[in-house]
Structure 1
């Protein structure tokens, strides 16, 4: 394959082989449909476009048994070196994940607890047993554990997080989502976790501003002494407070991230 531009040289691997996802000198035969693809992501993208929804499926990386050398076209069992021409099919090779990639600057490593290859350098990550995934070492003893927190779909874009190619972030509540989806949510003035509704950033300044607004906004006589039961999304405390049109403050943690669970009650 002739590489025609500097951009393509960055895009493809040594000798000009690879795809938009990886630089490598081999293709894989998908065991699920017996078709040949450059990588599992190429397979999954093609399978997701099939007209019959019952035919759509994803390739299980560990199930790959055969690869085709891109240099000599020899089909063979998965191995780092081609058994026919001897070419190295990928500078990084994982026999477990059947994964090849020339771009070793990604810092690929196989996490045996996750069961898949990760990127970013093994020295920069640790595996949280309870959360069931690799996290940045900055989060060691510095995050709220949620069991299998990465084994779900991003609550914003619905892509499965555990093996997503996109960066993820862990919120204060311990739930996870794509990093870019998180910032898109914040930019739209949404400050609660889409999963558990807890505040994801420090809201103390906002709560103080609401205090001031409530102090300046006197309720009509008919509503001034009515009470309402609320549930705090931040601390899960249930309490009875005075009804106010602007908001209801949790008596326990002083948060306004609350919801009404019983209608206003007129005192007898």
Structure 2
């Protein structure tokens, strides 16, 4: 409870004037794992993960923080929203579960009980998918392929852990997830398959149509013209025997060219 008579000016004093590259906040944390003071847990983790600290590498567990230091008056105290010494809000947004402070409330921070951590973007814009084990945009409600604990793994491109990453993530058609920046870089390099399951990451029907036209215009040599191969379709998982072509093999079930040969063409004797 705020003390009676405490002014709003006191509560907001120094707002957005303190913090680090990760968060604007009016306190620092004392890391219980090493007893050192840092602006936030990300500053701690980046510091301890530097090459020169390879023998002391460790990460701070957010829930373990017990002591904070007010950036306005330097008073150390137990975790709380308001400084017990000078009376400022140490964070306009405060979560007692995550021991998390942030003055930039335009991010729309909210705590998800199911995730167990704070998210950004506005609670009204997200829902928690029980099977995937994470919060997703409401646009994906009943509109995505569920993959159990899909966010609790590392990005297949940069290998950063996705569940509590500060970077934006994307859910691909197959249900697997990765960083948006990593996904866009992959598409720039004309890689259109999920790095985890190899399914197509987007609607490829126009590409498949162009390949149909190329195959029709490209006559195979006589020794290959009627040869068949067994293929596995990465998109529908169907296995079928099709005519071999140097440009690609089309799945007869879903008409995708995202296939791989599982038996080589038989050459003439």
Residue 67 (1) aligns with residue 78 (2): no
Aligned residue for 1:247? 248
Contact 2:16–2:25 (8 Å) recurs in 1? no
Name segments (4+ residues, structure 1) moved above 4 Å: none
1:49-198 correspondence runs (5 A): 49-198=50-199
Give me the whole-angstrom Cα distance separating, in 2, the residues matched to 1:68 and 1:229.
66
Distance of 1:130 and 1:142 partners within structure 2: 14
CA separation in 2, counterparts of 1:212 and 1:22? 53
What is the CA distance between 1:15 and its match in structure 2? 6.8
Cα contact 1:157–1:181 (8 A) shared by 2: yes
Instruction: Confirm whether residue 228 of structure 1 aligns to residue 229 of structure 2.
Output: yes
Please say if residues 225 and 266 of structure 1, whose CA atoms lie closer than 8 Å, have aligned partners that are also in contact.
no
Structure 1 gap segments, 5+ residues each? 1-12
Match of 1:4 in 2: none
Deviations 1:76-95 (A, max 9, x none): 11111112222211111000
Residue 261 (structure 1) shift: 0.9
Q: What is the RMSD of the two structures over their aligned residues, measured on CA atoms?
A: 1.4
Q: Contact conserved, 1:230 with 1:241, CA < 8 A, in 2?
A: yes
Q: Distance in 2 between matches of 1:124 and 1:15?
A: 25
Q: Are 1:39 and 2:53 counterparts?
A: no
Report the TM-score when normalising by structure 2. 0.92
Cα distance in structure 1, aligned partners of 2:54 and 2:249? 47
**Distance (Å, rounded) in 2 between the aligned partners of 1:36 and 1:221:** 75
Per the alignment, do residues 94 and 238 of structure 1 end up closer, same or farther by CA in structure 2, a change over 3 Å counting?
same
Q: How far apart, CA to CA, are the structure 1 residues paired with 2:215 and 2:85?
A: 78
Cα offset for 1:190?
1.0
Q: Could you say which residue in structure 1 is the equivalent of 2:211?
A: 210
Q: State the distance in 2 between where 1:102 and 1:26 align.
A: 10
Distance, in Å, in 1 between the alignment partners of 2:69 and 2:62 is 15
Where in structure 2 are there 5+ consecutive unaligned residues?
1-13
SS of alignment partner, residue 261 of structure 1: strand
Aligned length: 256
Alignment check: 8 A CA contact 1:225 1:267 kept: no
Alpha-carbon distance in 1 for matches of 2:211, 2:193: 17
Alpha-carbon separation, structure 2, partners of 1:52 and 1:260: 48
Further displaced range: 217-226 or 48-57: 48-57
Cα distance in 1 for partners of 2:109, 2:95 equals: 9
- Give 1:171 shift: 0.6
Distance in 2 (alpha carbons) for counterparts of 1:204 and 1:15? 49
The residue number in structure 1 matching 2:22 is 21
| Other structure's SS at 1:127 match | strand
Write the deviation string for residues 57-89 of structure 1: whole angstroms up to 9, x where unpaired.
211100101111112211111111112222211
Q: TM-score, normalised by structure 1?
A: 0.92
